[in-house]
Amino acid sequence: MTAFLDLPADTAFGLDNLPYGVFSTQDDPSHRVGVRIGEHVLDLAYLETHGLIAAPEAGRAPVFHGTLNAFMALGKPSWDAVRGRLQDLLSADGPDDLRGSETHREAAFTPLAEVAMHLPATIGDYTDFYSSRQHATNVGTMFRGPENALMPNWLHLPVGYHGRASSVVVSGTDIVRPKGQQKPEDAPPVFGPSKLLDIELELGFFVGPGNDLGDAISIDDARDQIFGFVLVNDWSARDIQKWEYVPLGPFLGKNFATSISPWVVPSAALDPFRVAGEAQDESEGNPEPLAYLQQSGNRSLDIALEVHLETEAMRNDGTAPEVVSRSNAKYLYWSPEQQLAHHTVNGCNARPGDLMASGTISGETEDSYGSFLELTWRGSKPLAMPSGESRKFLADGDRVVLTGVAERDGTRIGFGEVEGTVVPAR
Amino acid sequence: MTAFLDLPADTAFGLDNLPYGVFSTQDDPSHRVGVRIGEHVLDLAYLETHGLIAAPEAGRAPVFHGTLNAFMALGKPSWDAVRGRLQDLLSADGPDDLRGSETHREAAFTPLAEVAMHLPATIGDYTDFYSSRQHATNVGTMFRGPENALMPNWLHLPVGYHGRASSVVVSGTDIVRPKGQQKPEDAPPVFGPSKLLDIELELGFFVGPGNDLGDAISIDDARDQIFGFVLVNDWSARDIQKWEYVPLGPFLGKNFATSISPWVVPSAALDPFRVAGEAQDESEGNPEPLAYLQQSGNRSLDIALEVHLETEAMRNDGTAPEVVSRSNAKYLYWSPEQQLAHHTVNGCNARPGDLMASGTISGETEDSYGSFLELTWRGSKPLAMPSGESRKFLADGDRVVLTGVAERDGTRIGFGEVEGTVVPAR
């Protein structure tokens, strides 16, 4: 499959990817759905209006205007049909409806550099899981010692909690340093800007049609319910979090901002990157999950993830951002399907556009941890920057960029990036 | 102030109340905003369409069609103006625009019995606090003993967590018994319908205009940001909750359903029912809160609350529901304004229609506790029902009704009720 556009051979945004996003342009500030192909955005609202694509089951209602929620709601048969049609339209040897019309080509393609990206969906609810065993072990070890690192429930269910939907922001949004209560060891709490501002490297997914309240999504149906994936940076204020989180969980330490990448990589694009994941049975000394969580086939996704840090001094010097961690989504113990089946097994309803994130993804080695809390081991091992600076946690002016790419047999599926710069507390 | 309608002298839905809700009728299934007056609903969408009311600052956009979000977003000056206009229109001695027109009267009023009520707003985010000292003490005593009942942070900040917005339902919605993991004392977890289904008696409020991400709502501005109040039943599965909640807080033990009363009592209607609340200073042995939480004036609301239980056998016998608890919103230690100031102090953005609930409201005596967990002290003191049955937690077929009314100097402000019936697990 070759695109009729001139793309580099190793592009991570070729016909095998085609991620969806919501964009606007200076000429047309309306929000509409696009797909990224190479360094261009293809306007699906334009194609829809001009009869070049139509989502089956949508009837006459426009699907690609505003947000992705309407398309997410249609379900996998529609997703597959639209994806197939787009691959055809963009192929060098496909139908020439788009390829053959200069008018359509000029109207439908916009260079990536000329678009503004927005949140891909109206997010009804945002849920954050805690599905990396190494991350849970690291945090548990720091706070409770190595013997009690994993809580008793951790290997039996995907631990998760409700996040804040209002403060999910698209990549590029500045992150205002949060203020809040911090508790010195032997003194009453004090109020001020967080001193322990951190990131969490996560993979998130958007829910498709969802389920009615009172019903559940079975583990076998879960895969077809997942529209696609984004990178997530779940910014965290460790000092605020530590004082507030017992007994009801993280709150103000998290809900000041969660950044996501603008391009939603379709589930179908990631199918070739499924890998087994750690066995959830006695063969690796793990308890077998209860039946509703037992997943057949390959459970994990092989997606290389990186954390890049650029301080203000580095930016001013023109020093490239430093890669401070290299992780991979395959390190997750609980899969997206298990997360979704668990979330709904009690009858909780998921809706199109709901966002669910994995929790911090940490590998087994120190250079693969997904948070500064772990990378600097609570600040005890500062990271040396090329600028001569060091970092325990984030300073004002620091810019963090998370990237993701799946790669196999010459095919590359890119996530692009989610980035944000820390600005001083107000 | 006397209404031109024929209302009983002791009505809890007179001109001093005028709660807002969203309703539809068999003739007109569109959702629209109404106010309850006595046993009638006044259609504000009709009044708006016919030029009898207009929300200042709304421009020409319709405000009273669909949900209350648009009206909530306008802010207190608009709320006050509309409320004043409605009181005038409904007064026996006010302008005769409505009173004097049989056409308008017939079109604008519908008997309460003939309307279907819906969720009053599209709820972007739902947050649940934990603001009753007695409730936190009771739960803490059961799980950690009386010496460590209150966590160290509890008197310094309004502990809260994110709930699930998708499963907030309007009064009258059946509650499907949730299934989930439960952990026997010395055996692996098992899966099945919850055996410890419970309620939580709470007071909730809807946020008005809200704040931008990165900004905060000050304690002095918080009161004008609160549109109005509803009763909340935060259904809880104690067995699911107990196994899952460490370390990230309640999740599936809560998110299967949260019921709210359909009528939003305006903040202005409750102003006369402000009372001091427990002193937050050394005079009562409490730590003084940090400055951003220090609230001047009366902090608490004197609203009598009741929990009614009707088993299936009682319903079949025609036995009236039994009042199993009599509590009061004035028992809350942290006020709605403190909750909102705390929630946003880190820059977290609140949006019009966000719902924030108080947490279970328990008084000091055993008959004023707001959950079966407390009323039966973990099931050790079953409640005797008039049918000869007993209850530790809820059985299938049980119907729970929460009611609320503020009463002073002959004025009564009713909340109506929030009710739900437990149906078997699917």
Question: What ipTM was predicted for this assembly?
Answer: 0.97
Is the entire prediction scored with pTM above 0.95?
Answer: yes
CATH of the domain at B413: 3.90.850.10
* CA-based nearest residue in chain B for residue A130: B248
Q: Are residues A102 and A244 in the same domain?
A: no
d(CA B297, CA B292): 15
Q: Is B134 annotated as a binding residue?
A: no
Contact (CB<8Å) A346/B250: no
Residue A127, Cα to own-chain centre: how many angstroms? 12
Do A185 and A51 share a domain, yes or no? no
Give me the pLDDT at residue A345, please.
98
A339 inside domain: yes
In a domain, A205, yes or no: yes
Kindly state the average pLDDT of the residues B204-214. 98
CA distance B145 to B332: 22
- B104 inside domain: yes
pLDDT of residue A58: 75
Is the pLDDT reported for residue B58 higher than 80?
Answer: no
- Selected catalytic residue, list A135, A156, A308, A343: A135
Residue B59's pLDDT is what? 78
Residue pair B360/B129 in contact (Cβ under 8 Å)? The answer is no
CA–CA distance, A416 with A409 (Å, rounded to integer): 20
pLDDT above 90 covers what percent of chain A? 96
Per the CB < 8 Å rule, is B153 touching A189?
yes
Chain A residue with CA closest to B241: the answer is A248
Rg of chain B over Cα atoms, rounded to whole angstroms, equals 22
Query: Span A397-419, mean pLDDT?
Result: 97
Judgement on whether residues A266 and A298 belong to the same structural domain of the protein = yes
Q: Do B183 and B277 belong to one domain?
A: yes
Number of domains in chain B: 2
Together in a domain, A108 and A190 = no
Q: Quickly state the pLDDT bin for B4 (edges 50, 70, 90).
A: very high
Q: What number of CA atoms fall less than 13 Å from residue B49's CA on the CB side?
A: 10
Q: Across residues A68-75, what is the average pLDDT? A: 97
Assign B230 a pLDDT band (cuts: 50, 70, 90).
very high
CA distance B181 to B176: 16
Cβ distance A167 to B349 less than 8 Å, yes or no, reads: yes
Output the pLDDT for position A118. Answer: 98
What confidence score (pLDDT) does residue B358 get?
A: 98
Of B93, B118, B143, which residue is a domain's last? B118
pLDDT for A59 equals 78
Q: How confident is the model at residue B145 (pLDDT cuts 50, 70, 90)?
A: confident
Q: For chain B, give the mean pLDDT.
A: 97
Give me the mean pLDDT over the A211-237 stretch: 98
Report the pLDDT value the prediction gives residue B144, as an integer from 0 to 100: 82
Which of A71, A102, A118 is a domain's end point?
A118
Same domain, B282 and B305: yes
Residues B73 and B155 in one domain: no
Whether the predicted pLDDT of A1 surpasses 80: no
Residue B390 confidence (pLDDT): 98
The stretch B277-301 carries a mean pLDDT of 96
Instruction: Report CA B20 to chain centroid distance, whole Å.
Output: 13
The tokens describing A285, both together, are 């000394």
Residue A143 confidence class, pLDDT cut points 50, 70, 90: confident
CATH of the domain at B106: 2.30.30.230
Asked, for residue A3, whether it belongs to a domain, the answer is no
**Cα separation, B253 vs A119, whole angstroms:** 30
Provide the domain limits for residue A264.
126-423
Is pLDDT of B137 > 90? Answer: yes
Q: How far apart are CA A100 and CA B122, in angstroms?
A: 45
> How many other C-beta atoms can be found within 10 angstroms of the C-beta atom of residue A106?
9
Provide the pLDDT for residue B348: 98
pLDDT in tens, B78-109: 999 999 999 999 999 999 999 999 999 999 99
**Which of B167, B214, B350 is opposite residue A426, by nearest beta carbon?**
B214
Same domain, B114 and B132: no
pLDDT band for position A56 (50/70/90)? confident
Taking only the tens place, the pLDDT of each residue in B351-402 is 999 999 999 999 999 999 999 999 999 999 999 999 999 999 999 999 999 9
- Are B98 and B141 in a shared domain? no
Cα A214 to chain center, whole Å? 28
Cβ contacts of A159 on chain B, cutoff 8 Å: 244, 247-248, 251
Confidence band for B148, pLDDT divided at 50, 70 and 90: confident
> Which of B151, B219, B346 to probe the A interface (max A CBs under 10 A)?
B346
| Cβ-Cβ contacts under 8 Å, B246 against chain A | 151, 153, 247
Mapping DSSP onto H, E and C, the string for chain B reads: CCECCCCCCCCCCCCCCCCEEEEEECCCCCCEEEEEECCEEEEHHHHHHCCCCCCCCCCCCCCCECCCHHHHHHCHHHHHHHHHHHHHHHECCCCCCCCCCHHHHHHHEEEHHHEEEECCCCCCCEEEECCEHHHHHHHHHHHHCHHHCCCCCCCCCCCEEECCCCCEEECCCCEECCEEEECCCCCCCEEEECCCEECCEEEEEEECCCCCCCCCCCHHHHHHHEEEEEEEECCEEHHHHHHHCCCCCCCCCCCCCEEECCCEEEHHHHHHHEECCCCCCHHHCCCCCCHHHCCCCCCEECCEEEEEEECHHHHHHCCCCEEEEEEEHHHECCCHHHHHHHHHCCCCCCCCCCEEECCCCCCCCHHHCCCHHHHCCCCCCCEECCCCCEECCCCCCCEEEEEEEEEECCEEEEEEEEEEEEECCC
Say if residue B315's pLDDT is above 80.
Answer: yes
Contact B256 A347 (CB under 8 A): yes
Q: Flag whether pLDDT at A184 surpasses 80.
A: yes
pLDDT for residue B288: 97
Q: What mean pLDDT do residues A342-367 have?
A: 98
Check residue A60 and give its pLDDT. 79
- Choosing from A69, A92, A118, the residue where a domain stops is A118
In a domain, A249, yes or no: yes
**A6 within a domain of the structure (yes/no):** no
Backbone angles phi, psi at A423, to 5 degrees: -115, 155
Mean pLDDT over residues B117-132, rounded?
98
Determine the pLDDT at residue A2.
82
Give the gyration radius of chain A's Cα atoms: 22
Shared domain check, A188 and A94: no
A214 to chain B nearest CA, in Å?
6
Quote the minimal CA–CA distance from B277 to chain A in Å. Answer: 23
Instruction: Please check whether residue B2 is in contact with residue B91, taking contact to mean a CB–CB distance below 8 angstroms.
Output: yes
CB contact under 8 A, B256 and A346: yes
Query: Is B245 annotated to bind ligand?
Result: yes
Domain match, B239 and B101 both: no
**pLDDT band per the 50, 70, 90 thresholds, residue A144:** confident
Pairs of CB atoms within 8 A across A/B: 188
Cross-chain CB nearest to B248 (options A152, A250, A257): A250
Q: Could you tell me if residue A89 is inside a domain?
A: yes
- Decide if B5 is inside a domain: no
| Contact between B252 and A348 using a beta-carbon 8 Å cutoff | yes
Q: How far is B249 from chain A (nearest CA, A)?
A: 4
pLDDT at A338: 98
The pLDDT, as a whole number, for residue A212 is 98
Shortest CA distance from B123: residue in chain A: A124
Looking at the structure, tell me whether residues B282 and B398 fall in a common domain: yes
